[in-house]
Amino acid sequence: MKPIPYGRQSINKDDINAVIETLTSDFLTQGPKVKEFEDAFAKYIGVKYAVAVCNATAGLHLAVLALNLNKEERVITTPITFAASANCVRYAGGEVWFADIDKNTYTLSLEKTKKLIESKPSGFFKGIIPVDFAGLPVDLEKFRDLADKHNLWIIEDACHAPGGYFIDSKGIKQMCGNANYADIGIFSFHPVKHIACGEGGMITTNSEVLYKRLSKLRTHGISKENMSENHGGWYYEMQELGYNYRLTDIQSALGITQLAKNDQGIASRNRIANKYKQAFNGKIKFQCLPEGTYNAHHLFIVEVDDRKGLYDFLRTHNIFTQIHYIPVHTLPYYKEIGYQNANLNNSENYYSKCISLPMYPSLTDTEQAFVIDKVLTFVNG
């Protein structure tokens, strides 16, 4: 059996041709493909505005800036995420506070978040960053209720979940990142995710004010709107300190063809997930899916007692799993700034057992059967 990774991109002829076509066009950086990708993505998600950026980390940074996070202001997120979900708060000089995860969905617990907010005086926190972890959509309607009571903004880190959705209390399908309940949504186009651009990201919002601010911050803080002077056609103003966080036309061309295949990819991921669930049901714990939720299945995670043993055993059979994630509050940087004593038992217990099995659309039936067989062989001793 050839090596089986935990995730991999799916690139076909359409993707290759789109990139070649762009390479021979007049634009390599910010040309027409960026806007085409933004428009196609906004339509797919069902959101008014989309701003393409060079990666999701840059998108998260711009999101906290556009929401006016100031030094020492506090934001809540989950410890079970990639560090970037928390780091964006630090970039702005803010403080990260972690609330624990739910034991069964592995996403930020609404109850734990509520408890944390209510344990502090009014105005203590500024925002919440829930993460659609592994592709499982967070019920943002409930988080919005909580956020509204305490005057908080919400950034939905939807990096794992383009195409996932939950059904709200009115029976309406809410696509991850559609910003109906969050202020801003964030997506990643790192190759191991659903849509591969090499590097890339998208910020989504329904607010015109946020859209304009995000677009300006993406390009150095430069704008041709609301200028205090105008010297001629060339004139622009740098109105605030921004960044060069732009996506290129080459990456956007790839993003467009990748996006067109996303639904098909998620359907394959769900088929693969169902096979894992059938094989492991009653034997091995896996992420539970709340009713009315469509998981985009970036990952398929199981919990086992001897996680290191299983990880090493699978490697001897050329199966390369991954661990998502080392809890952010236990990373040396966060420990040093005082998080080592945080009471986040569900997250730490989850981390001691979790392992992400191979999950990508081109995983074959034979490869998956091999993985299942090896996992069960190990677990059954």
Ligand X SMILES: Cc1ncc(COP(=O)(O)O)c(C=O)c1O
**Chain residues that interact with ligand X, rule: CB under 6 A:** 55-57, 81-82, 84-85, 131, 157, 159-160, 188, 190, 201
- Which is nearer to ligand X, 56 or 138 (by Cβ)? 56
Q: What whole-number distance in Å separates Cα of residue 136 and Cα of residue 212?
A: 30
Q: What whole-number distance in Å separates Cα of residue 138 and Cα of residue 8?
A: 24
- Which is nearer to ligand X, 187 or 211 (by Cβ)? 187
Q: Please report how close the Cβ of residue 130 comes to ligand X at its closest, in angstroms.
A: 10
Q: 349: buried, middle or exposed (CB in 10 Å: 19+, 13-18, 0-12)? A: middle
Q: Please report how close the Cβ of residue 157 comes to ligand X at its closest, in angstroms.
A: 5
Q: What whole-number distance in Å separates Cα of residue 135 and Cα of residue 126?
A: 25
Q: 34: buried, middle or exposed (CB in 10 Å: 19+, 13-18, 0-12)? A: buried
In this structure, the number of other CB atoms found within 10 A of the CB of residue 298 comes to 27
Q: Please report how close the Cβ of residue 221 comes to ligand X at its closest, in angstroms.
A: 21
* Helical residues (DSSP H) of the chain, grouped into ranges: 13-23, 32-45, 56-66, 84-91, 110-118, 140-149, 208-218, 249-260, 262-280, 307-316, 332-334, 345-353, 365-379
- Which is nearer to ligand X, 329 or 374 (by Cβ)? 329
Beta bridge partners of 96: 75
Q: Please report how close the Cβ of residue 189 comes to ligand X at its closest, in angstroms.
A: 7
Q: 140 near 164, Cβ under 8 Å? A: no
Residue the block writes with tokens 């934001």: 75
Q: Please report how close the Cβ of residue 365 comes to ligand X at its closest, in angstroms.
A: 28
Cβ neighbours for 248, distance < 8 A, ≥ 6 positions apart: 28, 29, 30, 34
Give the CA dihedral 18, 24, 29, 31, nearest 10 degrees: -80
- Which is nearer to ligand X, 81 or 287 (by Cβ)? 81
- Which is nearer to ligand X, 99 or 375 (by Cβ)? 99
- Which is nearer to ligand X, 144 or 160 (by Cβ)? 160
- Which is nearer to ligand X, 297 or 374 (by Cβ)? 297
Q: Please report how close the Cβ of residue 101 comes to ligand X at its closest, in angstroms.
A: 13
Helix (H) or strand (E) run with residue 127 in it: strand 125-129
- Which is nearer to ligand X, 127 or 374 (by Cβ)? 127
Q: Please report how close the Cβ of residue 193 comes to ligand X at its closest, in angstroms.
A: 7
For 24, 133, 248, 255, 343, the CA distances from 159, given in Å and listed in that order, are 31, 8, 19, 14, 26
Q: Please report how close the Cβ of residue 372 comes to ligand X at its closest, in angstroms.
A: 25
